[in-house]
């Protein structure tokens, strides 16, 4: 709030004293001599004083108050609001990146020079240097513990190969690709830059398929549904399948409906469940009779030994058929 002033003209009145006169009529009496007579035995007159009044106009003045006004300039002030800005401290919050540390396996890239022996004739001198820079990338680094693994690079001419130097025997390494660039940097020097991309696969995940089993096996009137206790993923797949289905008649007699191999491609994945339609076997919808069901699935390893740095670990894997069965169940209707 600021004090603003401006000039303003207004009438200002003051009281002054002045004489004001007016005519005023009043009775004025004076004493005059008059003769008054009364009867006595004789007439006797005597002079008595009597008052005779008459009106007389005279000018009478008195002092009265009068207002005399004149214009007078004077300064009049009043408060007006105006905006005044000033710098004041203000707290402002922003997101600041901060470093969170945790213990993770660390792969260190260490470039080093490689040399190759060259045979020359006696008396001749020659020099040829090959400098190799090797980089190893683990595509799923952090998902699998590779802290106990190390690699060695071998140079053959201008080609670089990679092998395991030491292993914990807990990880299988699958090669996903190799990029190599050869560049002549001088008359006698050649630089080879190579990048290997690997996938680390825990041996525990592979071994888990040895104990895989069929779960939630259900027989419907028109299909069979089941789940697996492990996720097949991209490591194993079905390579064969067999189904057996019998109906129980007269307590011990069994009527065979199915007993045949089928292509695993007939299995359809729906969510986390597998289904196979009975119509795939030219079988009509089942009636409400008790039945026995048996399902056998063979699995195979999808890992190509030629792509692995340590394929010998696969020899530890013993994949067995996955089985499941139901006894004397009545087919379920949806």
Reported as a single tens digit per residue, the pLDDT across 60-111 is 666 655 555 555 566 666 666 677 666 766 667 777 776 766 665 555 566 6
- 286 pLDDT exceeds 80? yes
pLDDT for residue 169: 85
pLDDT for residue 303: 85
What whole-number distance in Å separates Cα of residue 69 and Cα of residue 158?
117
Single out the residue of 223, 227, 248, 221 nearest to residue 332, CA to CA: 221
pLDDT for residue 135: 93
Q: Average of pLDDT values for 257-282?
A: 92
Single out the residue of 178, 172, 225 nearest to residue 199, CA to CA: 172
Q: Average of pLDDT values for 35-63?
A: 56
Among 205-209, 283-287, 297-301, 327-331, name the one with the lowest average pLDDT. Answer: 205-209
**Residue-averaged pLDDT of the chain:** 78
β 129-138/189-202 pair status: parallel
Residue with the bigger pLDDT between 175 and 318: it is 175
Reported as a single tens digit per residue, the pLDDT across 109-167 is 666 555 556 666 676 666 678 888 999 999 998 888 888 889 999 988 889 999 988 77
CB of 238 closer than 8 Å to CB of 261:
no
Band (pLDDT 50/70/90 cuts) for residue 317 is confident
Q: Average of pLDDT values for 269-290?
A: 90
Q: For the range 55-59, what are the long-range contacts, defined as Cβ-Cβ under 8 Å and sequence gap of 24 or more? A: 55/25, 55/26, 55/27, 55/28, 56/25, 56/26, 56/27, 56/28, 57/23, 57/24, 57/25, 58/23, 58/24, 58/26, 59/21, 59/22, 59/23, 59/24
Band (pLDDT 50/70/90 cuts) for residue 300 is confident
- 50 pLDDT exceeds 60? no
Q: Average of pLDDT values for 20-47?
A: 56
Listed by start position, the domains of the chain span 11-75, 112-116+128-204, 212-329
Question: Can you read off the two tokens belonging to residue 63?
Answer: 């002092």
What whole-number distance in Å separates Cα of residue 246 and Cα of residue 290?
9
pLDDT for residue 37: 55
Band (pLDDT 50/70/90 cuts) for residue 267 is very high
- How would CATH label the architecture of 212-329? Sandwich (2.60)
Reported as a single tens digit per residue, the pLDDT across 165-212 is 877 888 999 999 999 999 988 878 889 999 999 999 988 888 888 888
């Amino acid at each position: 709030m600021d004090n603003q002033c401006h000039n303003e003209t207004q009438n200002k009145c003051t009281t002054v004293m002045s004489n004001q006169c007016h005519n005023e009529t009043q009775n004025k009496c004076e004493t005059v001599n008059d003769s008054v007579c009364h009867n006595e035995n004789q007439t006797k007159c005597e002079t008595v004083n009597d008052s005779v009044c008459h009106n007389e106009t005279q000018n009478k003045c008195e002092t009265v108050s009068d207002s005399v006004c004149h214009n007078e300039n004077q300064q009049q002030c009043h408060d007006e609001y105006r905006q005044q800005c000033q710098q004041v401290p203000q707290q402002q919050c922003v997101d600041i990146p901060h470093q969170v540390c945790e213990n993770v396996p660390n792969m260190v890239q260490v470039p080093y020079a490689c040399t190759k022996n060259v045979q020359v004739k006696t008396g001749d001198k020659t020099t040829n240097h090959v400098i190799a820079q090797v980089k190893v990338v683990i595509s799923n680094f952090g998902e699998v513990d590779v802290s106990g693994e190390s690699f060695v690079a071998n140079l053959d001419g201008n080609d670089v190969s990679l092998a395991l130097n030491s292993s914990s025997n807990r990880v299988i390494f699958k090669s996903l690709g190799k990029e190599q660039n050869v560049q002549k940097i001088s008359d006698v020097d050649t630089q080879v830059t190579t990048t290997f991309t690997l996938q680390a696969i825990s041996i525990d995940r592979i071994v888990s398929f040895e104990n895989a089993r069929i779960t939630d096996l259900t027989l419907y009137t028109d299909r069979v549904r089941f789940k697996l206790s492990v996720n097949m993923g991209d490591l194993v797949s079905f390579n064969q399948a067999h189904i057996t289905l019998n109906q129980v008649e007269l307590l011990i007699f069994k009527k065979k409906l199915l007993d045949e191999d089928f292509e695993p491609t007939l299995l359809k994945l729906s969510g986390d469940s597998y289904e196979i339609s009975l119509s795939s076997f030219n079988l009509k919808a089942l009636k409400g009779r008790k039945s026995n069901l048996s399902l056998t699935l063979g699995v195979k390893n999808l890992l190509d030994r030629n792509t692995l740095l340590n394929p010998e670990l696969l020899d530890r894997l013993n994949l067995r058929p996955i089985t499941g069965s139901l006894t004397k169940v009545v087919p379920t209707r949806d």
